[in-house]
Structure 1
Amino acid sequence: MTFTAIDFETAVGHHPCSVGIVTVENGIIIDEFVTLIKPPQNQYSPYTIAVHGIYPHHTANARSFAQVFPEIKKRLQNRIVVAHNESFYRNVLMKSMALYGLDYTDLNISEKWECTVKIYKAKGLKPTKLSDCCREMNIKLNHHEALSDARACAKLYLLK
């Protein structure tokens, strides 16, 4: 199995403040990438801060999405992409790219990604939050930390 798993933490709306990406080749994790991202105007919702614990002072000097994008692109381009609740994360990527004038089709990835929520729901698991799936499958998780979430998603996909 060869694919890339991705997770974003968001500051407000679809604006990411962190990304975690895990690259899997032939069933083995070969690369992990995580970075903070400065959202536009470094604005956050109190709700998202409560979820992931990332505050504006953490990203005040971080790179923008456009500056981080080359790292994202080299890990996603021409790959099968996997996410837990793929439509949300695909939307974050697409809207962030559009905001900076980047063309999603340049990534050459599927319009719909592989989704571990859908996979585990089809297996009868309820509820299918990432933490529930990881507990059921005995996968270590530091929930709402982008790299831990992406790694857990990759492991869930490997076990599908």
Structure 2
Amino acid sequence: MEFVAIDFETATWHRNSACAVGIVHVKNEVIVEEFYTLIQPPNNEYMYHNTKVHGITSEDTFDAPTFEEVYPKIKQLMEGKLVVAHNESFDRNILYHTMEHFGLSYSELRIKSSWECTVKIFRKKGNFKVNLAACCERYDIPLDHHNALSDARACAKLYLIHKMPLFS
């Protein structure tokens, strides 16, 4: 089994405003690589609400690379792999629209148009609270919520739990 779990944080309500990304590469049920970076969003603009959620500010990303600059690493980790996210439609849309903003083709990633979604997976298991914090608490997974790498790592662990039914 090989997959990547991904999480984005955004600077504004715009779907192309990625300000942080965390990616966890899992192979044979082991985390083999983790990647995290801050990203300078368009015009380095932030909305108060978003900053209140994740704590990232324009000062934090003033010298951060743009998405276009970090994209080669993202592509290297994601290309052709199964992708997992907690609330996949959010992260998939952020990736798609951020790539579009920079003139990059989503199709070159060679990934499915819909990803595995741990929200949907754990809702189907009968969990009523399926937010990331609740799922992590239930399965005793450490979480620094809204840190993109911590969220991606937690999502990867939740997906592994789903794939190993003895532990769920």
Deviations along 1:40-91, one digit per CA (max 9) or x if unpaired, are 0000010000000001000000000111100100000000000000000000
* Cα distance in 2 between the residues matched to 1:99 and 1:18: 16
TM-score (norm 1): 0.99
1:139 to 138, 141, 148: 141
Q: In the alignment, which residue of structure 2 is the partner of 1:101?
A: 103
CA separation in 1, counterparts of 2:160 and 2:6? Answer: 14
Q: Please, which of 139, 147, 151 is the counterpart of residue 153 of structure 2?
A: 151
Q: Deviations over 1:82-132 (max 9, x none)?
A: 000000000000000000110000000000000000000000111110001
Equivalent residue for 1:128? 130
1:112 pairs with 2:100: no
Supply the distance in 1 between the matched residues of 2:92 and 2:143 (Cα, whole angstroms).
22
CA distance in 1, matches of 2:36, 2:141: 19
Partner of 2:60: 58
Q: 1:38 aligns with which of 32, 37, 40?
A: 40
Q: Distance in 1 between matches of 2:104 and 2:134?
A: 35
Mapped to 2, the partners of 1:76 and 1:129 lie a distance apart of 24
Whether 1:49 and 2:69 are equivalent positions in the alignment is no
Any runs of at least 4 consecutive aligned residues in structure 1 with deviations exceeding 4 A, and if so which? none
What's the secondary structure of 1:128's corresponding residue?
Answer: coil
Corresponding residue for 1:10? 10
AA matched with 1:151: R
TM-superposed deviation, 1:157: 0.1
Number of residue pairs matched?
A: 160
* Identity among equivalent pairs (%): 52
| Distance apart, 1:11 and its partner CA | 0.4
CA RMSD of aligned residues (A): 0.5
Residue 2 of structure 1 deviates from its aligned partner by 1.0
1:8-39: CA deviations, max 9, x gaps? 01001221100000000010000000000000
- The DSSP-based 3-state class of the residue aligned with 2:94 is helix
